[in-house]
Chain A
Amino acid sequence: MKHRILVLLSLLVAVVLVLGACGPKATPTPVPAPTQPPTPAPAPTQPPTPVPAPTQAPTAPEKKPLGLPAPLDKMTWDDVVAAAKGQTVNWWMWGGSDVINAWVNGWLAEELKKRYDITMHQVPVAGPTEFINQVLGEKQAGVHSGGAVDIMWINGENFRTMKEAGLLYGPWAQLVPSGALYDWDDPAIAYDFGYPVEGYEIPWSGAQVVLEYDTAKVPDPPKDMAALIQWIKDHPGLFTYPAPPDFTGSVWVRMMCYYATGGYEQFLGDFNQELFDQKFPACWKLLNEIEPYLWRKGQTYPETQQAHIDLFANGEVYFRMTYGPGDAQTRIDKGQYPPTVRTYVLEDGTIANTNYIAIAYNAAHLPAALVTANFLASFDSQYNTIISLNRYSIMKESALTPEQRNLLASVKRGPAILPPEVLSAHKLPELQAKWLVAIEEGWRKNVLEK
């Protein structure tokens, strides 16, 4: 009797396994593309789209190989696209934003399927160390092809770490069609936190810190860092920042340190321990000085950005800093924030950077990785992030067609978004990676554990 049950059970397991294995293979066969209505409706949520998004820029069928690194060295772009057909691309990316996750699994996944027959598989991670560890672990184990990571959302010290450890495929970013849309002579594109990109990653989005506040609660927000610090002291318990190494908390600490140490200009070069030891105690002093006036008297800090978003949305704190100038508008549109929320930049300026898409050196689906990265950087995808994620164009004006420029010019922005001129007039640079690590460590030792 018992034996029979066992046999039955194992049969059941086997059936489930077989079904599971067949499932993904079986789905692409019905050819979903032709059944879909041909009318391109790229963003149904966005009614004011004046002209349907244009189709892929007319890339003349290249006959010459692109000169990509092995194993794709003989391939033209058309060959790469053909090889990518039917592949799944594993995108390891920070998964801390519900809004971005929805975009990746919604619009992006549909477009990739429709245009290239590529299946998007998002692997959401809490931080880049997860995919660095993954690729590093595979390299150590001798898994030089067929790795779990195809493409990554990356920048700064993580890009540097991976490039220096030989964990990235490249150079490719200037060879794919979308590479021509970016100004590789602009240091803001060609250097990632002061480290040369050299074609190992392609720009995906621009980021600049803005402060979110609710006009119903703070009608007249403090204009600059000095005034903000005074505001924090006058309103105990209503301000906080996510604990570094969360990247938003980390950038906020850098901004306060720029202020407390007399400006970022002195730190722009390579890391200098002596200078760090000499200048940064002033910053720890400032951060400890405001600590008793922070949320929960600074005895704890929000663990993640999402925790900070919840605190702000629930009215526990009155400000939130974010790398995404359009975040607030997106959340207002989704009803997560009250419509009275606005954003602004401090008169001292706020830190800005570019973030990128890179490919793992041992990516299992190299062609799909290239096609997806190229598509993410393409006009169509960039334009969609601008209208649906409230991003900004980081593409080179002169590389766009007149229609594309018109499309960008006609984008209507919600009231919670600052005009691009205001943002670019208040840009502060990032420091090189080693400074970042030292500042995060210094914050932990001198502020958190004090």
Chain B
Amino acid sequence: MSRLREHLNLFLMLAPALAVVLVLFMGGLVMGVAQSLGYMPMIGKTDVTLNAYVHILTDENFLRSLALTCWIGFTSSILSTILAIVAALVLRQNLLGTRLTTFIFQLNIPVPHIVGAIGVIFLFSQSGLISRVTHLLGWTQAPADFPVVVWDDWGIGIILEYLWKTTAFTGVILLAVLRSIGEDYEDVARTLGASAWQRLRHVIIPLIMPGILRSSILVFAFTFGSFEVPFLLGKRFPRALPVLSYEYYHDVDLGFRQEAMAISVIIAVLITAIVLVYMKLSETYVRSD
């Protein structure tokens, strides 16, 4: 009896969250898939075809966008994870001032990405603050002398923004993991004669690996699907996939919506696939422990 009630309670408490997920997320997904197949009764299209996918996947521009998006996603998640590990290792030591440093380190977490992107433009564009300083110092003569960091070929501006934001995010997670582990394992390793590198490589990293994997999945999924940062800091061509999708969606020709939705569905499928692979990876990691 009380068992049943517990279940009912559980269900009732989860219902609002489930409703949001199912109705808003799944509903949107279903409509997106339908539109990507060309089912758009409001503009008189009811034929279901795979034309948009064929068109997109054979389009060189799409493939270039896909490559760029993968590059941005992988580079920013790998680099930010490495930086976050280093930062967390430094910050967990209870030295003088680390509390303040930790606070400063976390300060940018509530700042929206769009603000960070504008900040990157202000700082790193060819007529940005840093360029002005180098001009004052006489290192550059004109804005064009300053290296191209924003709106560049390799998405450096985009990656910089993601690093700035996600390093703190991953760092905070890893810091929490490290603190919960404590230093006992390391002390044991030390008494057995392990060097600092050996302690890091064989004790700490394996212990925090689940945390690393999970947070880097989140970072990758976010950077792969995010729109505003590549929109503001990316080159006009090729575009990151979310920006490309937005562009198709806003084309004067409503027929392009099919392509826009197809791109969005592809983004969703890719992220899901990569998350599944990651989860498999982290599972094997835990098991081998």
Contacts and interface: CB of A to CB of B under 8 A. Distances in A.
Contact of B126 (A137, A140, A316, A448): A316
A448 B151 CA distance: 14
Nearest to B146: A316
B237 A300 contact: yes
Contacts of B127: 310-311, 314-316
Given A129-B250, A243-B236, A314 B143 contact: yes
Contacts of B153: 299
Interface in A125-171: 127, 129-130, 133, 136-137, 140, 157, 161
A74 interface: no
A126 to B, nearest CB: 8
B252 A315 contact: no
Interface residues of A, number: 25
B148 interface: yes
Interface in B136-161: 143-144, 148, 151, 153
A363 B126 CA distance: 45
A394 B60 CA distance: 47
A315 B237 contact: no
Interface residues of B: mostly helix, strand, loop or mixed?
A: loop
Contacts of B235: 299-300
A315 B235 CA distance: 20
Interface string B151-173: 10100000000000000000000
A300 B236 contact: yes
A253 to B, nearest CB: 14
Contact of B252 (A129, A299, A300): A129
A134 to B, nearest CB: 12
B88 to A, nearest CB: 31
Most buried by A among B42, B148, B151, B252: B252
Interface in B189-209: none
Interface string B43-57: 000000000000000
A300 B42 contact: no
A214 to B, nearest CB: 14
Contacts of A130: 250
Nearest to B232: A303
A109 to B, nearest CB: 26
B61 interface: yes
A314 B153 CA distance: 22
B231 interface: yes
Nearest to A314: B127
Contact of A127 (B42, B236, B250): B250
Chain B, interface size category, equals: 10 to 19
Nearest to B233: A303
A449 B61 contact: yes
Nearest to B13: A6
Contacts of A310: 127
A296 interface: yes
Contact of A157 (B42, B61, B252): B252
Contacts of A449: 61, 237
A243 B235 CA distance: 11
A231 interface: no
Nearest to A243: B236
Most buried by B among A157, A245, A314, A437: A314
Nearest to B127: A314
A448 B143 contact: no
Interface string A288-311: 000000001001110100000011
A207 to B, nearest CB: 20
A303 B231 contact: yes
A127 B126 CA distance: 27
Nearest to B153: A299
A309 to B, nearest CB: 12
Contacts of B232: 303
Interface string A414-450: 0000000000000000000000010000000000110
Contacts of B250: 127, 129-130, 133
Interface of A: 127, 129-130, 133, 136-137, 140, 157, 161, 237, 243, 245, 296, 299-301, 303, 310-311, 314-316, 437, 448-449
15 contacts: A127-B250, A129-B250, A129-B252, A136-B42, A137-B42, A157-B252, A245-B252, A300-B235, A300-B236, A300-B237, A301-B236, A315-B127, A316-B127, A316-B144, A437-B253
Q: Considering the complex of A and B, which 10 residue pairs feature the smallest CB-CB distances, nearest first?
A: A314-B127, A140-B42, A300-B235, A316-B143, A129-B250, A300-B236, A316-B127, A301-B236, A300-B151, A237-B144
